[in-house]
């Protein structure tokens, strides 16, 4: 992993599911404090859940970046013993059916809850959530069909910077789409999909783009380069466990192909904007390699965060998070926060609001943080 000259002592993030998708996560909860936490990640996207996590064998040593986050230059809020740092929102939460005033108010709301980094959904189900020339050439329209105003991300970034917050862009669902995707028919026609149906999550059938197909490679490299140049002040981009191929798919040995794709994606992003952090929030590396063809310890990334949404194996898997840039849990696991925040080996915490209401999750975190 590449080290960055940023500073992060501890990060707490909250994510919100998109629509009614409890089936995406089988076990995804409420307390928070803060000492020396200087970075927060409010993610305006849905982190994919996991309902199946393997027991830990030997905890791997994952290279851990240091100095991960810029320190906020704005006036500091009253110090808590531990400060809340991050919340995820679904990609439609930020700008759907709203206006500039509401978007700016939303940013300020999370800042008052001691959140100082936003992770916003900018991609999902095969198309962009921002005005994209790459998407326009592909689909004849500049973004996914939605009711989001074109400037929503500009307003979000601008207000966040005024509040001393960082903004990270989340590429939700990665290389997976369903049959409602705007690019589904095109993908079928051009043979962009690998054989089989991905059923990683119960009652959720997905199709996976072939990262060896030249047009698929060109699409994602074009999107990444375009995005980090269109929004040069974005602080990070983040991918998750949807950058994966289930080993249950036909001809499933795609580990080397996915590794090459991820490295090329990293390099394309860095050439377009060297200062942006290329991040990953995935399942533990042994499980990912064994069941998802994702040997992400071999990928080029700046920061890796490990999802620990399974309560039965939480303690067994904790060492993975201790050896990474941080941990992702849900708002149904907030009883874990006191111990996590006291744990010097945990450098960052993401919280996914499985309950579907990130504002409530933030308020609950605020209440919990004073205890």
- The whole-angstrom separation of Cα 198 and Cα 204 is 8
Query: Which parts of the chain have pLDDT scores under 50?
Result: 1-9, 11, 13-84
3 within a domain of the structure (yes/no)? no
CATH number of the domain enclosing 316: 3.20.20
What is the per-residue pLDDT for 2?
Answer: 36
17 within a domain of the structure (yes/no)? no
12 within a domain of the structure (yes/no)? no
- The whole-angstrom separation of Cα 184 and Cα 181 is 5
DSSP 201: E
6 within a domain of the structure (yes/no)? no
Q: Is the distance from CB of 326 to CB of 343 less than 8 angstroms? A: no
10 within a domain of the structure (yes/no)? no
Q: Let me know how long the chain is.
A: 371
Q: Which CA distances in Å does 34 have to 64, 65, 285?
A: 21, 20, 28
What is the per-residue pLDDT for 149?
Answer: 81
What is the per-residue pLDDT for 121?
Answer: 87
- The whole-angstrom separation of Cα 162 and Cα 153 is 14
Q: Is the distance from CB of 353 to CB of 16 less than 8 angstroms? A: yes
Q: Which CA distances in Å does 157 have to 151, 283, 307?
A: 10, 29, 26
77 within a domain of the structure (yes/no)? yes
Domain that holds residue 41: 22-369
Tens of pLDDT, residue by residue over 252-267, are: 689 999 999 999 999 9
What is the per-residue pLDDT for 7?
Answer: 34
DSSP string, 137-199: HHHSSSSSSSSB-TTHHHHHHHHHHHTT-EEEEEETTTTEE-TTSTTHHHHHHTT-BPSS-EE
267 within a domain of the structure (yes/no)? yes
- The whole-angstrom separation of Cα 324 and Cα 215 is 33
Tens of pLDDT, residue by residue over 101-115, are: 999 999 999 888 878
What is the per-residue pLDDT for 5?
Answer: 32
Residue 199 CB coordination number (10 Å): 13
The distance from CA 40 to its chain's CA centroid, rounded to whole angstroms, is 13
Q: Does pTM top 0.75 for this prediction?
A: yes
Q: Is the distance from CB of 320 to CB of 56 less than 8 angstroms? A: yes
- The whole-angstrom separation of Cα 283 and Cα 287 is 7
293 within a domain of the structure (yes/no)? yes
How many separate domains does the chain show? 1
């Amino acid at each position: 992993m590449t080290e960055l000259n940023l500073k992060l002592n501890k990060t707490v993030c909250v994510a919100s599911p998109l629509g009614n998708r409890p089936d995406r996560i089988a076990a995804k909860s409420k307390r928070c404090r803060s000492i020396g936490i200087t970075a927060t990640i409010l993610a305006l996207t849905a982190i994919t859940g996991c309902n199946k996590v393997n027991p830990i064998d030997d905890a791997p040593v994952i290279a851990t970046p240091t100095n991960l986050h810029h320190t906020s230059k704005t006036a500091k809020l009253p110090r808590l013993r531990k400060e809340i740092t991050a919340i995820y929102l679904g990609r439609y939460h930020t700008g759907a059916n709203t206006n500039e005033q509401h978007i700016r108010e939303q940013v300020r709301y999370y800042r008052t809850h001691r959140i100082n980094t936003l992770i916003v959904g900018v991609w999902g189900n095969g198309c962009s959530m921002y005005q994209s020339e790459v998407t326009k050439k592909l689909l004849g329209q500049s973004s996914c069909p939605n009711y989001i105003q074109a400037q929503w991300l500009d307003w979000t970034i601008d207000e966040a910077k005024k509040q001393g917050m960082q903004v990270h862009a989340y590429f939700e669902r990665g290389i997976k789409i369903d049959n409602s995707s705007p690019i589904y028919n095109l993908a079928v026609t051009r043979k962009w999909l690998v054989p089989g149906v991905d059923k990683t999550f119960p009652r959720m059938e997905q199709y996976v783009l072939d990262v060896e197909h030249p047009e698929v490679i060109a699409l994602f490299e074009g999107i990444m380069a375009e995005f980090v140049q269109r929004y040069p002040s974005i602080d990070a981009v983040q991918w998750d466990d949807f950058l994966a191929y289930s080993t249950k798919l036909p001809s499933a040995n795609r580990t080397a192909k996915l590794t090459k794709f991820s490295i090329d994606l990293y390099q394309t992003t860095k050439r377009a904007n060297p200062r942006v952090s290329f991040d990953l929030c995935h399942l533990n590396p042994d499980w990912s390699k064994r069941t998802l063809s994702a040997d992400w310890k071999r990928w080029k990334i700046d920061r890796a965060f490990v999802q620990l949404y399974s309560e039965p194996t939480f303690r067994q898997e904790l060492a993975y998070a201790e050896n990474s840039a941080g941990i992702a849990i849900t708002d149904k696991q907030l009883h874990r926060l006191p111990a996590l925040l006291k744990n010097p080996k945990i450098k960052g915490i993401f919280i996914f609001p499985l309950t579907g209401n990130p504002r409530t999750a933030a308020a609950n975190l605020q209440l919990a943080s004073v205890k």
